[in-house]
Copies of this chain bind each other. A is one copy, B any other.
Amino acid sequence: MAKMEKLETADSSTEEKIKEAAAKVFTQKGFAATRTRDIAEEAGINLALLNYYFRSKEKLFDLVMMESLQKFLLGVRDILNDVNSSLTEKISQLASHYIELLKVNTDLPLFILSEIRANPGRLEANMGAKEILLQSNFYKQLEATTKKKVDPVHFLMNIFGLTVFPFVASPLLRIIGEKSKTEFDALMDERKKMIPIWVDAMLKSI
């Protein structure tokens, strides 16, 4: 007998509720500190349902991590490979894209980085990211601009350092700078304009 589809939005299905709760709790507390009971409670479901739908804590985590990586990487391919934009324009677009993304998902990068450190094996499975980045038009423009003088990887570090690091360090920075979430976000908005200018200045300085 064929299974019947229920008339539910993806958001309200039990499976989706669990996945969203898992994403929230895993991202906040990390794999090891997360109890499957935390996820069940957050999702408002019976604990056994988690295993009914996802088999195990680890499988559910792998799913969440995969989607987190995609959230972080997807949506920049277009920017990286636009043949009609200059390097500076790409940097501007990348900065804006990541700042908008991370204002809403502040602890996404810290989650990804700390879980990869805790379990480096998980990364290798997933990544075509290296190829996407290193064979992109963006990277070629970067190589052409820096040519021979310095490793273009330096400027990858710089761009991501300027853009992503404030979010990674936000728990500390907000205290040190005495900023509310709103003020912090406003600072990040300012950076959308400044980062491309700064990177330009850095590129010219070498």
Residue A49 CB within 8 A of the other chain? no
Chain A, 166-181, CB within 8 A of any chain B CB:
166, 168-169, 171-173, 175-179
Query: Across the two chains, which residue of chain B brings its CB closest to A151?
Result: B187
Complex Cα distance, B173 from A32, in Å, reads 24
Quote the shortest CB–CB distance from A119 to chain B (angstroms).
9
Complex Cα distance, B177 from A160, in Å, reads 14
Quote the shortest CB–CB distance from A93 to chain B (angstroms).
19
Residue-by-residue, is A90-125 near B (CB-CB < 8 Å gives 1, otherwise 0)?
Answer: 000000000000000001001001101110100110
**Surface stretch bound by B, among A6-14, A50-58, A80-88, A195-203:** A195-203
Query: Across the two chains, which residue of chain B brings its CB closest to A205?
Result: B201
Complex Cα distance, B166 from A156, in Å, reads 10
Query: Given A30-B32, A154-B190, A191-B154, does the pair A176, B129 have CB atoms closer than 8 Å?
Result: yes
Residue A194 CB within 8 A of the other chain? yes
User: Is the interface on chain A under 10, 10 to 19, 20 to 34, or 35 or more residues?
Assistant: 35 or more
Quote the shortest CB–CB distance from A46 to chain B (angstroms).
24
A157 with B165: CB separation less than 8 A: yes
A123 with B33: CB separation less than 8 A: no
List residues of chain B with CB within 8 A of the CB of A176. Answer: 129-130, 133-134, 153, 156
Which residues of A are in contact with B by a Cβ distance under 8 Å?
A: 28-33, 107, 110, 113-114, 116-118, 120, 123-124, 127, 129-130, 133-134, 150-151, 153-154, 156-158, 160-162, 164-166, 168-169, 171-173, 175-179, 187, 190-191, 194, 197-198, 200-202, 204-206
17 A–B pairs (Cβ distance < 8 Å), ordered by A? A29-B118, A30-B32, A32-B32, A110-B114, A110-B117, A116-B171, A120-B171, A124-B175, A127-B175, A134-B176, A151-B177, A153-B179, A157-B173, A157-B191, A165-B165, A201-B201, A201-B204
